[in-house]
Amino acid sequence: MSLSTELGVQIPVIDIANPTLKTGEELVDAAARYGFVFIRNQGSDISPPEIDKTFETVSTLRLDIPQFPKPRKTLDPKNQRRGDFKEAFNLGEFHGGKAQQPLPDVLIPHEAELGHFTDRCHELCMKILRLFALGLKISPDDGGEDWFLSRHDTSRGPSGSILRLLHYPALLDDADYIPDVDIRAGAHSDYGSITLLFQLPGQPGLEILTPPSTWSPVPVSPLTTASDPSPPILVNIGDLLSYWTNGLLKSTVHRVVFPPEARRGGEDRYSVAYFCHPVNDTKLVPVPSEAIKGLIGGDGAAGGADVMTADEYLKSRLAATYGWGGKK
């Protein structure tokens, strides 16, 4: 493990190519401290060409796609009056390589490739969740390393997992833009188990809220990964996994800002996020780990009659942010 030392916060960089118990412990430690961790990408999990291909597709996204919502919405409706300067397309689960929703014309030729990428993201999430179970020392009697896997097994039923393609347009000279008010993506936390975030070299902007309340920039490629074939994949804990672990793993608030040089003109920014959720009917009983037992009783998952399903939890988070029926 190494730390990303430049700029602001030091998010650990972890190599999971040949994982051991120590790798699991390091992941749990990073998730408990920061809620964010970089997974080094030297090609063994999701290959750089697969990531490049997905970004080629994302770069075809333009504001004139009818399905893109207008006017713009924000991820932070409580604090922000104006919409985020971004467009995004969410792809739900694929079945047999087929999207289960209408696709905009520009994405139709890329359906199989996006389905494949979604599968690769899900597999990587399973590898990471297995390592979390190892690091949390879940006993073999309770399901051991497989504890999270059976609960994210897509053959058991639908889930809220989403692949989100994001485009943050460059600012045109005549853009209706208010410096220091407008933002590319408003402050928010993610809702699911874990999120994978893919970013492009030279396109920074992500910031995380660090205690007591400082916005710290997150580099795309920390120094120790500068010569890797692809930037590391950024993994963050969502609200559901934080709830499930009674707050041991942190769901950290984050946002995307305009880099200072992009405040007029500037460049488009593209990113891809995979939000991994458990199967809808998964019961969110407390994760059986000694590290979590002492924390039960706060705002986290309760046993007994109060147990929520993953689907109920997601709906409650959407309702708290947008009112019932809203969409993130």
128 binds, among Fe ion, ligand AKG, none (CB under 5 to 8 A by kind): none
Give the residue closest to ligand AKG by C-beta: 271
Nearer to ligand AKG, 23 or 252 (CB): 252
Q: Which amino acid is at 193?
A: S
273 belongs to the binding site for ligand AKG (CB under 6 A):
yes
Nearest residue to 205 via CA among 221, 190, 220: 220
Reduced to 3 states, what is the DSSP secondary structure of residue 175?
coil
Q: Which of residues 103-162 bind Fe ion (CB under 5 A)?
A: none
Element (H, E) at 221: none
Q: Could you say which of Fe ion, ligand AKG, none residue 182 binds, taking C-beta under 5 to 8 angstroms by partner kind?
A: none
State the first-to-last Cα distance of the chain, in angstroms, to the nearest integer: 34
Closest approach, Cβ 190 to ligand AKG, in A, equals 5
| Rounded Cα–Cα distance for residues 218 and 204 (Å) | 8
In this chain, which of 45, 182, 190, 207 binds ligand AKG, going by CB under 6 A? 190
Q: How many residues bind ligand AKG (CB under 6 A)?
A: 11
Strands of 134-290 (E only): list them: 162-168, 185-188, 194-199, 206-210, 214-217, 233-237, 254-256, 269-276
Q: How far is the CB of 252 from Fe ion (least distance, A)?
A: 10
Least distance in angstroms from the C-beta of 128 to Fe ion: 17
- Amino acid at site 179: P
Phi then psi dihedrals of residue 137, to 5 deg: 55, 50
Please work out the total of residues on this chain that contact Fe ion, with binding judged by CB under 5 A.
1
**Triad 39, 41, 47: Cα angle to 5°:** 135
User: Least separation, in Å, of the C-beta of 250 and Fe ion?
Assistant: 14
Identity of the residue, 85 or 147, whose beta carbon is nearer to ligand AKG in the bound complex: 85
x-or-dash string of contact with ligand AKG, 191-230, rule CB under 6 A: ------x-x------x------------------------
Q: Which two tokens stand for residue 159?
A: 């889930």
Task: Please enumerate in sequence order all residues whose Cβ is within 8 A of that of 72, keeping only pairs 6 or more positions apart, or say none.
Answer: 82, 83, 84, 85, 86, 87
197's contact among Fe ion, ligand AKG, none, with CB below 5 to 8 A by partner kind, is: ligand AKG
Site for Fe ion in 178-197 (CB under 5 A): 190
Select 107 or 292, whichever has its Cβ closest to ligand AKG.
107
d(Cα 111, Cα 103) in Å, to the nearest integer?
A: 8
Distances in Å between the alpha carbon of 311 and those of 64, 76, 191, 228, 253?
33, 22, 11, 38, 22
Q: Which does 185 bind (CB under 5 to 8 A by kind): ligand AKG, Fe ion, none?
A: ligand AKG
Q: At its nearest, how many Å lie between ligand AKG and the CB of residue 207?
A: 10
Residue with tokens 């993506």: 185
In the complex, the smallest distance separating the C-beta of residue 21 from ligand AKG, rounded to whole angstroms, is 31
Q: How far is CA 55 from CA 41, 43, 61, 201, in A?
A: 16, 16, 10, 12
Q: Which residues bind Fe ion (CB under 5 A)?
A: 190
Q: Which residues bind ligand AKG (CB under 6 A)?
A: 164, 166, 185, 190, 197, 199, 206, 254, 256, 271, 273
